Chain A
């Protein structure tokens, strides 16, 4: 997976990503998939739209993944975020971390998703079944990388 892309307008190929990251050196692969759920804020979600400031988002996700690989001495790590219209149960983002053991793969995976949510210029517009829509805001996100409790 050289010259990796971190953003895509197409459905994310989770199985393909897992296969491409497999390695004889890896004892623990952790996979996070962020998916579109039916309800938010007591309202029924119809669909989501994601947009990004793409040059900066690509660069920033690449930096975060590289930092995690270095910090936890991972064999590999990958993250890709989908843009455009997503339906309920679609996958919006995956984070895959590959370590010699599971502990570092779990920790690095959480680190990557928390930082991507908080630091990467991507925006979600939630469209509800009542016809309203609302732009999201992660700035009140209590991420572990910012030393708070966290519940997604």
Chain B
């Protein structure tokens, strides 16, 4: 199965569970939900925050059933706290 590089960047409290970013080689056609499952395999303690996080590619929020077909930077956005 063809593999693609996905860089995953973390912000806010999620950096407590992961580093600033990680790079994973995953199957082409993987869903965002399946990427989240991979992240939980790396650190299950992040589940509570991941459950309420949004995901973005190219500054646009993507739904969790979004299919990733090419290499990309996936941004994990925990609840915001600006202002």
Chain A interface residues (CB < 8 Å from chain B): 34, 50-53, 55-57, 59, 81, 92-93, 113, 116-125, 135-139
Interface of chain A, main secondary structure: mixed
Interface residues of B in 2-30 (CB under 8 A from A): 9, 11-13, 16
B75 located at the interface, meaning its Cβ lies under 8 Å from any Cβ of chain A in the complex: yes
Interface residue from A55, A56, A135 paired with B81 (Cβ < 8 Å): A135
Chain B interface residues (CB < 8 Å from chain A): 9, 11-13, 16, 52, 56, 59-60, 75, 77-83
* CA A50 to CA B81, docked complex, whole Å: 9
Known pairs A56-B56, A135-B12, A135-B13; A93 contacts B78 (CB<8 A): no
A93 proximity list for chain B (CB < 8 A): 82-83
Most chain B beta-carbon contacts within 10 A, residue among A52, A120, A136, A139: A136
Interface residue from B9, B79, B83 paired with A34 (Cβ < 8 Å): B83
A55 proximity list for chain B (CB < 8 A): 59
A139 proximity list for chain B (CB < 8 A): 52, 79-80
Known pairs A53-B75, A123-B11, A135-B12; A117 contacts B59 (CB<8 A): no
A81 proximity list for chain B (CB < 8 A): 82-83
Most chain A beta-carbon contacts within 10 A, residue among B12, B77, B83: B83
- Determine if B82 and A122 form an interchain contact, defined as CB atoms under 8 angstroms apart: yes
> What is the chain B residue whose CB lies nearest that of A122?
B82
- Determine if A120 and B80 form an interchain contact, defined as CB atoms under 8 angstroms apart: yes
> What is the chain B residue whose CB lies nearest that of A32?
B83
A56 proximity list for chain B (CB < 8 A): 56, 59-60, 75
B80 proximity list for chain A (CB < 8 A): 117-123, 138-139
A135 proximity list for chain B (CB < 8 A): 12-13, 16, 78, 81
- Determine if A136 and B56 form an interchain contact, defined as CB atoms under 8 angstroms apart: no
B83 proximity list for chain A (CB < 8 A): 34, 81, 92-93, 113, 116-117, 122, 138
